[in-house]
A and B are shown apart, each in its own frame.
Chain A
Amino acid sequence: MPRLTVWYLRAAFVHLALGATFGALMLTAKAAPSWGWAWAWFPAHIELMAYGWLMQFALGIAFWALPRYLQPPKRGDERPAWAAWALINLGVALLAYGPALGLAWVRAAGGVAEALAVLLFAIYVWPRIKPLGV
């Protein structure tokens, strides 16, 4: 497994653990109204689970498993995929924790970071979506 996939997957695991924690707190709040404060973490739960966990896990596996080039470097210039990793995690963090900390303005910045990340990753991965041995 390439080093970048290790970073994607371990970051995805961290987001899964945190997102599941916020989810459990909110479900508890449905049973115990005194836990209503947990609802402040609703945007964080969505962000962490959908993008931090599911999307990031899929991108990490794609980097590892998609067909490689015949000539080294076998996975091409990895720098856009590394930049995408940094931007995804910056974006997820801004979108997840910004509102709860009273920093609503950072949501737009987080959205831009995530969109740029996916664009960079798509540009990086596009030529690797090809038949094997070509």
Chain B
Amino acid sequence: MPRLVRWYVKAAFVWLALALLLKAVALFPAAASLPAITPVSWHLLFVGWLTQLIFGIAHWMLPTRPGASKDKLRGSEPLMWGAFICLNLGLLLRVAAEPMQVAQPGPLWAGLLMVSAWLQWLAALGFVFNSWARVRPPVRRGQRGA
């Protein structure tokens, strides 16, 4: 399993654990009024866990690019590292900024929330851009990458 894929999968498990921890906390009556706990925990699960796990496993398992050099078989490694950083930094900023923007609205938290939004968007677009050409029918012998 390539190093980048290991980072994706391990980060996915960290977010899964955090999502379930947050869900458990939210079930205590005293925590029910914590701001933004529901959208944050849902996004930890669906973005941090499921989507990130798919990104990582797809990067590993999708067909390689025919005719590409050895270091480009899975597309652009730097782009997928960038998507990894954007997704996780974006989610981390959301965890901090969304509850704070509800509790104490201000330009700092609003700004961080916006950065969080568009970092996650960049991660999705980066993954799509890199994976599009790898989703393809089989190629004839002799056309495969080196």
| Chain A interface residues (CB < 8 Å from chain B) | 1-3, 5-6, 9-10, 13, 16-17, 20-21, 23-25, 27-28, 30-32, 49-50, 53-54, 57
Measured as residues with beta carbon below 8 angstroms from the partner, the interface class of chain B is 20 to 34
Contact A30 B46 (CB under 8 A): no
B52 interface contact, C-beta 8 A: no
Interface residues of B, Cβ cutoff 8 Å to A: 46, 50-51, 54, 62-63, 94, 97-98, 101, 109-111, 113-114, 116-118, 120-121, 124-125, 127-128, 131-132, 135-138
The verdict on A30 contacting B135 (CB below 8 Å), with A17-B125, A24-B120, A49-B46 known, is no
* Residues in A neighbouring B54, C-beta threshold 8 A: 54, 57
Q: Are A27 and B63 in contact (CB under 8 A)?
A: no
Tell whether, in the assembled complex, residue B46 and residue A10 are in contact, meaning their CB atoms are under 8 Å apart: no
Instruction: Give A58 to B105 CA distance when docked, in angstroms.
Output: 39
Contact check, A31 vs B137: say whether CB atoms are below 8 A apart.
Answer: no
- Which residues from chain B contact A27 at a C-beta distance below 8 Å? 94, 98, 113-114, 116-117, 120
Main secondary structure of the interface of B (DSSP, over half): helix
Do A20 and B132 have beta carbons less than 8 Å apart? no
Known: A1-B135, A6-B136, A13-B132. A23 touches B111 (CB 8 A): no
- Across the interface, B110 reaches (CB within 8 A) one of A6, A31, A49, A50, namely A31
Chain A residues whose C-beta falls within 8 Å of the C-beta of B50 in the assembled complex: 54
User: Taking chain A's interface residues, is the majority helix, strand, or loop, or is none over half, making it mixed?
Assistant: helix
Q: Which residues of A contact B113 (CB under 8 A)?
A: 27-28, 30-31
Asked if A20 and B121 sit within 8 Å, CB to CB, the answer is yes
Could you count the A-B residue pairs with CB atoms below 8 Å apart for me: how many are there?
71
Closest to A60 in B: B135
Residue of B109, B110, B118, B128 touching A16 (CB-CB under 8 A)? B128
Using Cβ atoms and an 8 Å threshold, which residues of chain B touch A23? Answer: 117, 120-121
Complex CA distance for A1 and B131, rounded to whole angstroms: 13
Residue of B nearest to A50 (CB): B46
Q: Of the candidates B98, B117, B120, B128, which one forms a contact with A17 in the assembled complex, judged by CB atoms under 8 Å apart?
A: B128
A13 touches B128 (CB 8 A): yes
> Chain B nearest CB: distance from A75 CB in Å?
13
Q: Is the CB of B121 within 8 A of A21?
A: yes
Can you offer 9 A-B residue contacts whose CB atoms are under 8 A?
Answer: A5-B135, A13-B131, A16-B51, A17-B128, A20-B124, A24-B117, A27-B114, A30-B98, A31-B117
Q: Are A1 and B118 in contact (CB under 8 A)?
A: no
Output the residue of B97, B113, B121, B132 with the most chain A CB within 10 A: B121
With known contacts A17-B125, A31-B110, A24–B136 Cβ distance under 8 A:
no
| Chain B residue, CB-CB nearest to A6 | B135
